[in-house]
Structure formats: structure tokens, C-alpha cells
Amino acid sequence: MIAFANNYFYITTKSSSYIMKILPDGVLKHCYYGRRISNQNMDYYNLYTGYSYIVPYMINNEVTTMDALPQECPSCGRGDYRNPAVVIENADGRRVNDFKYFSHRLYRGAVCLESLPYLDTDTGSAETLEIILKDLISGVHVHLFYTVFEDIDIIARHTEVRNITESTVRLHNIMSLNVDFEFSDCDMISLYGSWGKERTPERYTLHHGKATVSSNKGSSGHHSCPFAALVKKDTDEESGEAYGISLIYSGDFEIGIQVGQFGGTRFYAGINSENFSWKLQKGEIFTSPQAILTYSHEGLGKMSRNFHAACRRHLGACAQKKKHAIVWNLWEAFYFEVNEQKILDTINAVRDFGIDVLVLDDGWFGNRENESTSLGDWLINTDKFPGGFNNIIERCKSNGLKFGLWFEPEVISSESNLFKKHPDWCIHIDGVAPMKSRSELVLDFSRQEVVDAVYDSMSAILKKYDIAYVKWDMNRNITDNGSISLSNGQQGEHSHRHILGVYSLMQRFKKEFPHIFFEGSAGGGGRFDFGILYYMPQIWTSDNSDAIGRLQIQHGTSMVFPPETISCHVSACPNHQTGRVTPFKTRGDVAQLFSLGYELDPNHLTTEQIELLKVQVSKHRELEGWLENAEFYRLKQSSDCDSCAWQSVSADKSRSAVLYVTQLTKPEKVGEYLHLKGLDETKKYRVLPLKIVVSGNVLMYAGLPIKRQYRDFESIFFEILEV
């Protein structure tokens, strides 16, 4: 609910309140964000008014030190020396702004962003508040949008800068949101990583100055994720206060927490300003990416479940609820050595496993014998596939399977026909040898003709063949940033223009090929964000397919993203990335609560493994109907722990599934009670495989007994069914 009274804006969700005030001078003050309270004049709550020695101030009814004042859209150069929300270079070249309230509008529904992904609502259940500020110095207008999803404690935020003046200005900084708190005794949590180790939670004490997570690689990155949480010291998985922000954006971003000299904390998120500037001519509008903001007083678990709900109910492809397919991917089975006979043999081998889609990964096009060639030449290699894909698709169909294909649309090999024809299409600097990575270069998607050409060559294949699934990869970071098509005053626009081009291509494929299920990937999980999930409901989580390595990765990824978006494959042992040997059962169990798939040569499976595999697949079929709306609980942290445990609970609390994995056997340990969550206290449940019937309150408060495991990497998969 959104209300306006006596210059106060009150945003109320199920469990939170967000309160702002227009001060007499027009500054939009942030008054409160936290646990739900009554709508109330907050004039008594001004800790930071008053004069502070040598710090610039403004005079409203009382003197206010700008560097201490909590604000919604802090300006630059007018006494607040913390991170500004928007920086506009005026026609005279100065970067000084003074944002003051101008007007506001309230309306039902969400805001549709033209070329960026966003949270939407079919039902009109959201409400939006648009506050318009005017920069008293340049005359430019700044629109702050608050779209409120009341039932899930989510506020979607974005900012628009509208140049309503006669002059050209330049935008240097644009945050999607800024929230100022009047406390700082907190921790920050972010997700760090690298290739093969994506999204590991890291918690650290706030210090004076800035703590940031960001990317300048042209994509959200393996090393960071567009997410951060501000949490109280006593916050854990199930209790305490947590504020979470994630951006619906896949390009260069920054999310920061800054503790100021007077003890307040600024939490902000938006486009990374390091290499950003945008020329805004008379009448032009710049729209920031949207950020998702949530508050929980029930710990990190509830914060995650709020993010999951926002994604499942309101985020593009995820909200469309396309059935997730169980795939058999061929990458770790054959790498580049694919051909028609091998694929036909694989179809024969997997046909009665119960899987849905056979996915031909890299290696099917051009002269692609290894990673050094052919990206951009999306033509079937007829030496490997003499009849094109016709025979394969026929064989798939006659065995109840669909066919899927791998593409890496945004890149080009310098050894390719496309490069010979258009050497200037990659991101490069004339006369400078480009930096290479995995022998590939990035196509300049800020250029429409490049995006169109990629669409034409890829869509030719998708139109010709009955393809049900596409794995959309992106395996390198951008260097030599800029575009030969932009003037020298506009090179700072390139990163954002590039990602807009990527989104436009994804949107086009989503629209033109609605029957295709698209899965994102980026050297594993190097671009796992809500931006991609708007176009593709699932993302390959990591090239590290080792079940034990995956515990940490899936654990961290679930901090923000719903389990069914997290693609997890059972692969061969010894594992190709770590050399670790794990039981086949554990490999299946670790994927079971997420999007299960397989990625190995079926001819190397033993008879017992095949029997187990069929059980895993049919169990997943049985669970998937309720898992996609289930509440997810991280019961045990896997880092520095001997075991990891997760639980999913159906929306009506009638079913639950629990995974427990031993990472490090401890002979001295007698076992433990695992305290389940989210069940109905009064319901009775049958626990399989224990064959006991107990009340929800017993499972939650006394716990589920876990006997000592005698071997590393053993797993137990429990099912809890209402009787």
C-alpha cells in the first residue's frame, strides 16, 4: 500500500514499512525502512539535524547537515560528500546538482521498461509511486520509481533522468536506488567467486567508507553477483533483520554500502560509474536498470524466499512457468568430438531413461575441432553431420526425446568466415592487437547490424530444424571497451549499449521462438543474474560439476535465485574438474531439489547406475510439480562444516524433501538432529526412508535424527509426506 499525507510517503508491505518525507526545502528525506510500523509523522525521529562544525548545511525549519541527512536521491557538490545517486554534468561542464521535490504520481500496476528487463504483474496487484525531482542547477528532471509488491515484501526501484532543458547534458552516475539508514553496526554479505567456484557467500563487518561489489567485465561475472545484503550482527538464516538488493541487470554494475562520518549507512545499487557517461540531448530520457529491494526480520532465509517469490511471480520468462526439461547434455561426454553416429548411439543408450531433451553442446558448427575457431559461423559441420540434424531429430522423436543445441551468439573467433567478412565487428581498437580469451573476441552488440546478422544466422538453424532447447553461452569478458560506431564523446555509453543489444537479441528470440526453452550460461555461472532470468528461466550454474564442489555453489546461488533456475547436472567420475569420486546416488541427490540434468557418456554407466538414474529421473518428475513453488531452506552451511543440508517445503506444507550430504566423515561424531523448517506444527508426516510418522513440531523442534555417516560424500534424501 502507498499513502501520501502531510508531505510523508508511506509504503507498506506485508512485513515492512518504507517512509520518506519532503522537507520544507524540497529535499526528499529517507525516514525509515524496516519492520512494519504504523503510518506516523516521523518529525520526532531526526537524529541528524543540527549544525556540525565545518560541514555544509541547509536550512529548512532547522539546520540540517547534508553529509548526515538520510536521503532518497543524494546530490553531488552540495554538501553531501557520500556516494551520489545521480550525477549530471551541466551544460557549463560542472558536476553540481541539487535535487528537490517537484511532483509525484501514484498508480496501480508495475512500470514497463522499454528495453530493459523488469518485474511485471499480470494481475495489477502492484502499485507504483513515481516521485519527480528537479535539479535546481541544470533544470533536468529525475524520476524515482517505487513499484510495490506488497504480499512478498518487495519494492522494485529504478530511476529515470529526463532532459527537459534546451541544452545537452551528460550523465555520469545513475543509481537505481539509494537507501540511507541511521545505523551502521551491521555486516555486509555478498557472493564472491571465480570460474568453477561461483557465488560463495562472504560476510564482513562494515567499516567507515565504502564496501562494494561490482563488475567492469561487461557481464555480471564469476567473481561477483549483482547482490548484497545489509544485516544486523545477530542475523542468521532464520532470525534477525536483513535488507537485500539485487539488480535486474547483466552488465557492469556496482552495489555498495558506505558508512559516513556521522555513523549513517548508505546502501546503493546501479550501473558501475567507473567507465560510464551518457550524453543526454534535449528531450532524451535515460532509464536505469531496475533493482529489487527486500526486507526480512526472519533472517537470510526469508530474504532469499522473498527474492525467489519475486522471480517466480513477476520476472519475465520465470513467471511464464515453462516446464523445465530434464536434459542430457553432451559436453562432458564428448567435448568437441561430436558426430552423427555418436549422437545416434547416445539416443539409443538414453531412450528409456525418462529424460526430455538431448542437448548437442559445442563442436557442431564450422570447423570447430577445438576452441580456437568458427564462433560466429553458425552452419552445421557436414563432415560431422552429413545429413544435417534431420537423422538425429528423427531418432530423437521416435524415442520420445526432443533436441537441443548450443550457441555462443555474442562472440566471434578470429579464425572464422564471419571475421574474414567483417573484421571490424568485434570490440577492438583500430591498430591495437585485441586481448584474447579462450581464442574468442566479443561482437559489438551496440551496433544494430551486428545484432541483426547474428539473429539471421542463428534463426536460420532454429527455423530449419525442430529445436526445443537452446543453451545460450557467453565465455569471455570484454576488453578494449568501446565501439568504432560511437563518437569520442560517447565511448562511455558502450558497456550499457552493448548489454541493451544483448537483451534486444534475447527478446527477439524469446518472441519469435516461444516454443524453445532457453538456458543461459557463461563459462559456467559467469552471468547468473535476474537480467538473464527475465529472458531465460534457467542458467547453467557452474562448469564445476563435482557434486561436493557444487554444494557451496548451489548453496550461495540459492541466496538470491530460486532452485528451479539453478541448472545442475550429474556428471562422470572421477569428476573432470576436481578428480573427486562421489557415489552416483549423491550426484543425483545434490541436483534433485534444483533443475536436474545429466552430462556424461551413457555408455560408461554400469547397470546399477542406470537403475539408480531411472529412479532419480522418475523421482524428479514426481517432485517437480510442487518444487517450483516450494519454500527453500538452507538448513546447514556447507563451508567449514562437515555436512550440508537443504529442505524444500510445498506451498501447502503437505510435502517436503530434505537433502543431507556428508562432506567430511568424523568418526567421533554420533550423529545429529536436523531441525527442519517450514512444516505445519500440527500436521503429522510420514518420513521416508525412515518409515516413521511424527508431528511437524517434532521434526522442527526435536529434529530429524541423522545417523552417523561412515563415508565421505554419502547423501540421504528424505521425503516428508502429510498423512
- Interface residues with ligand GLA (CB under 6 A) are 331, 361-362, 406, 473, 475, 521, 523-524, 540, 543
Beta strands 209-214 and 141-149, pairing class: unpaired
The Cα 254–Cα 482 span in angstroms is: 19
| Catalytic (active site) residue 543 | yes
Beta carbon nearer to ligand GLA, 473 or 493: 473
The Cα 115–Cα 489 span in angstroms is: 23
Q: Shortest gap between Cβ of 681 and ligand GLA (angstroms)?
A: 43
Catalytic residue among 180, 444, 473, 546: 473
Beta carbon nearer to ligand GLA, 528 or 530: 528
Q: How many CA atoms lie within 13 A of 482 on its CB side?
A: 14
Q: Shortest gap between Cβ of 366 and ligand GLA (angstroms)?
A: 13
Residues 6 or more apart whose Cβ sits within 8 Å of residue 209? 258, 259
Helices 584-592 and 547-557 cross at an angle (nearest 10°) of: 10
597 backbone dihedrals φ, ψ, rounded to 5°: -155, 180
In the complex, residue closest to ligand GLA by CB: 362
Q: Shortest gap between Cβ of 335 and ligand GLA (angstroms)?
A: 8
Beta carbon nearer to ligand GLA, 482 or 523: 523
Beta carbon nearer to ligand GLA, 482 or 520: 520
DSSP string, 386-426: TTTTHHHHHHHHHTT-EEEEEE-TTEEESBSHHHHH-GGGB
Fill in the DSSP letter of residue 648: E
Find the angle CA(210)-CA(215)-CA(218) to the nearest 5 degrees. 155
List the end-to-end C-alpha distance of the chain, in Å, as a whole number. Answer: 39
Beta carbon nearer to ligand GLA, 158 or 197: 197
Q: Shortest gap between Cβ of 557 and ligand GLA (angstroms)?
A: 15
Beta carbon nearer to ligand GLA, 33 or 518: 518
| Residue labelled with grid coordinates 550426484 | 587
Beta carbon nearer to ligand GLA, 98 or 473: 473
Catalytic residue among 98, 187, 362, 543: 543
Name the strand (E) or helix (H) holding 570: strand 566-571
Torsion of Cα atoms, 309 then 313 then 317 then 318, to 10°: 30
Q: Shortest gap between Cβ of 362 and ligand GLA (angstroms)?
A: 4
Cα 428 from chain centre: 28
Q: Shortest gap between Cβ of 523 and ligand GLA (angstroms)?
A: 5
* Single-letter amino acid, residue 483: S
Q: How many CA atoms lie within 13 A of 343 on its CB side?
A: 34
Beta carbon nearer to ligand GLA, 520 or 537: 520
C-alpha cell at 476: 569471455
| Catalytic (active site) residue 642 | no
C-alpha cell at 345: 548411439
Cα 315 from chain centre: 11
C-alpha cell at 293: 529491494
Of 577, 570, 572, 482, nearest to 523 by C-alpha is 577
Neighbours of 671 (CB within 10 A): 10
Q: Shortest gap between Cβ of 536 and ligand GLA (angstroms)?
A: 14
Active site residues: 473, 543
